[in-house]
Structure 1
Amino acid sequence: MQFGIFTVGDVTVDPNTGVAPTEAERIKAMVRIALKAEEVGLDVFATGEHHNPPFVPSSPTTMLGHIAALTERIVLSTSTTLITTNDPVKIAEDYAMLQHLADGRVDLMMGRGNTGPVYPWFGQDIRNGIPLAIENYHLLRRLWREDVVDWEGKFRTPLHGFTSTPRPLDGVPPFVWHGSIRSPEIAEQAAYYGDGFFANHIFWPKEHFIRLVSLYRSRFEHYGHGAADQAIVGLGGQLFMRKNSQDAVNEFRPYFDNAPVYGHGPSLEEFTEQTPLTVGSPQEVIEKTLTFRESFGDYQRQLFLLDHAGLPLKTVLEQLDLLGAEVLPVLRKEFDALRPAHVPEAPTHESLRIAGVRA
């Protein structure tokens, strides 16, 4: 079981001070958070990809390449790589390059993006979101697995005798997760290829995501990749902790109430009841996270959102200390004890290399 964090990279006013970090401060803070994640023993750091304010992570491979040079162990991933508005050729080359720089500590999560205006900025139409995701990913897989590619599709110019460079490290393409909030077509796509499926269920009730994960598992088995309970599943989560539960609620409430995504909507209490958000003590985080297995079955990756809504860097680092010292050891022990022997761990570059994966 892998545990990690993901960032959306928002630049948000701290409601207690009325001040927002500069873009430079926020970018440097994200790097510091990644280093702290490795320090406290987490397995994964993932960044989103956004091209619109108030977000700054428009170039994930630039950031992850920098972090790779400063770390030794942690897996570097994305919580969104926009398969719809990025050229598959550029994705293939950028992430293969990152593989080499990070000695294989790289995977990525494909996503369509749900911000309509971004599509025309990159010459696309959001109404083609699903067809773009399907066609572009099919080409990306070929670019990583075939030394010379001839290809023609609907959404980009043809390729004739094209070789993507550099080639994937050790001939092993990065492992791919497909992230989805609402699209069964993406769950189907992940199952078809035997890739991972990530349910980023931080904003909606779990029942919606249970249906998506169940569809993915059944189709994974249908396509012959293994039993349904062997499908590779990742889940999102969200937390804020203090030693005392009420202290956590009191401190986090102004950040929740003014958050750019869910602020001024449901109350903090309603949101924590209906979604994976946990605001309380480390023990409460442990107890709620363990219920995810009851809802979704055994899964391979758990990522938490910690650094958003204007929370100061100092506070986020304190959250990571609590996560690493008081939550992570218990979750590792409990999940490892519950996981059946036939359910695989999350794929890594080394496990894929040993298995001889190339096709």
Structure 2
Amino acid sequence: MQFGIFTVGDVTVDPTTGRAPSEHERIKAMLAIAQKAEEVGLDVFATGEHHNPPFVPSSPTTMLGYIAARTENLILSTSTTLITTNDPVKIAEDFAMLQHVAEGRVDVMMGRGNTGPVYPWFGKDIRDGIDLAIENYALLRRLWDEDVVTWKGKFRTPLQSFTSTPRPLDGVAPFVWHGSIRSPEIAEQAAYYGDGFFHNHIFWPASHTKQMVNLYRQRYAHYGHGTPEQAIVGLGGQVFMRKNSQDAVREFRPYFDNAPVYGHGPSLEEFTSQTPLTVGSPQEVIERTLSFRDYVGDYQRQLFLMDHAGLPLKTVLEQLDLLGEEVVPVLRKEFANRRPANVPDAPTHAARVEAKRQEVTQA
């Protein structure tokens, strides 16, 4: 099972100091956080894509390329890439290039985004969101899988005998996750292609997550990719830890209360009881994370959101130390002990290259 972190790259006022970092400071902090993730033994770093304040990660492949040059083991991902407003040709080229730069340590998460105004900024209509996601991804798959593509669709100009360059590393495209919070159409799309399904799992109750993941698993089997248990599932999560749970709650409360995404609404106690947000000791994070398996089954990737809501870099790095030293080693062992033999490992480039080689050998 893979463990890692994802960032939304928000520039938020620290409520304890009244100061917000500059965009430059926030970007540099994200780079430091990624390198810390590798240092403490995590598997994945993922960045969102946003094109509006107060967020800074408008060019994920630029950031991930920099991180690739300064890490050796970390899988680099997005969380998410906007399949609706980005040109599929540019996605195909950018991520194939990143594959080569990072020696295959790359995958990508497709999503529609959660900011309505981004559509007209890129010449699109939000009412076409689902249709754009379906058409653009179908084209992207062809651009990666076929050396020469002739194509015509509804939302972009046709392609005639077009070759996307560079070609995917080792002839194997980046593994694709489809990220969604609420759209069953996206779970269906992931199942149709046999791709991974990532449920953000940070705002909604367990019953909703269970429903979405079960839909994906059932449809994955329906399309003939394997049993429901063999479907590739990832989950998000939010945690804040201190050695003592009371200290964690006391320190995190002002950040929660003022966070743009959930502040000024339910109390911290209400939110932690109704969603996967866990604020407490490392042991409480371990127990809560292990409980996710009870309603989604065995899964392959767990990413945590840890650098949001104005938390200072020093605090985030302390959180990563706790995650890497006290939480993830226990979770690795416990999830491995509980996983049945028929549940696949998390996908990696090396494993997928080997699977392709075996397919060719057996053909």
TM over 0.5: yes
Cα deviations across residues 158-213 of structure 1 (Å, max 9, x unaligned)? 00010000000000000000000111000000000000000001011121111110
Residues 152-163 of structure 1 mapped to structure 2, 5 A cutoff: 152-163=152-163
- Aligned counterparts, 1:1-359, within 5 A: 1-356=1-356
d(CA) in 2 for partners of 1:57, 1:302: 21
**TM-score between both structures, scaled by the size of structure 2:** 0.98
SS at the partner of 2:204?
coil
Query: Structure 1 CA distance, aligned partners of 2:312 and 2:36?
Result: 15
Q: Tell me the alpha carbon deviations over residues 89-141 of structure 1, each in whole angstroms, 9 at most, x when there is no partner.
A: 00000000000000000001000012111100000011100000000000000
TM-score normalised to structure 1 length: 0.99
Q: Aligned partners of 1:159 and 1:206: how far apart in 2?
A: 43
Which secondary structure state, in structure 1, belongs to the residue aligned with residue 182 of structure 2? Answer: coil
Q: Distance in 1 between matches of 2:325 and 2:170?
A: 35
CA–CA distance in structure 1, aligned partners of residues 181 and 244 of structure 2: 32
Which letter maps to 2:102?
A
Partner amino acid, structure 1, of 2:4:
G
SS of 2:237's partner is: strand
Q: Matches of 1:329 and 1:352 in 2, distance apart?
A: 25
CA distance in structure 1 between the partners assigned to 2:295 and 2:184 by the alignment: 18
| SS across alignment from 1:308 | coil
Q: How far does the alpha carbon of each residue in 1:63-112 deviate from its partner, in whole angstroms, 9 at most, with x for none? A: 00000000000100001000000000000000000000000000010000
Give the deviation of 1:23 after TM superposition: 0.3
Deviations 1:223-273 (A, max 9, x none): 010000100000000000000000000000000000011000100000000
Equivalents in 2 of 1:213, 1:118: separation in Å? 27
Percent of residue pairs identical: 82
d(CA) in 2 for partners of 1:91, 1:207 = 34
Structure 1 residue ranges without an equivalent (≥5): none
1:270-296 Cα deviation digits (max 9, x unpaired): 000011100000000000000000010
Aligned residues: 359
Q: Which string of whole-angstrom CA distances, capped at 9 and with x for unpartnered residues, describes residues 308-342 of structure 1?
A: 00000000000000001100110000000000111
The AA in structure 2 aligned to 1:151 is W
Indicate the SS of the match to 2:314: helix
Larger mean CA deviation between 349-358 and 321-330 belongs to 349-358
Matches of 2:244 and 2:329, distance apart in 1? 19
| SS, match of residue 340 in structure 1 | coil
Residues of 1 paired with 2:215 and 2:243: CA distance?
Answer: 38
Distance 1:18 1:5 in 2: 26
Q: Tell me the SS of whatever aligns to 1:334.
A: helix
Cα shift at 1:55:
0.2
CA–CA separation in structure 2 for the residues paired with 1:237 and 1:295: 14
Cα separation, 2, equivalents of 1:346 and 1:166: 26
Is there any run of 5+ residues in structure 2 with no aligned partner, and where? none
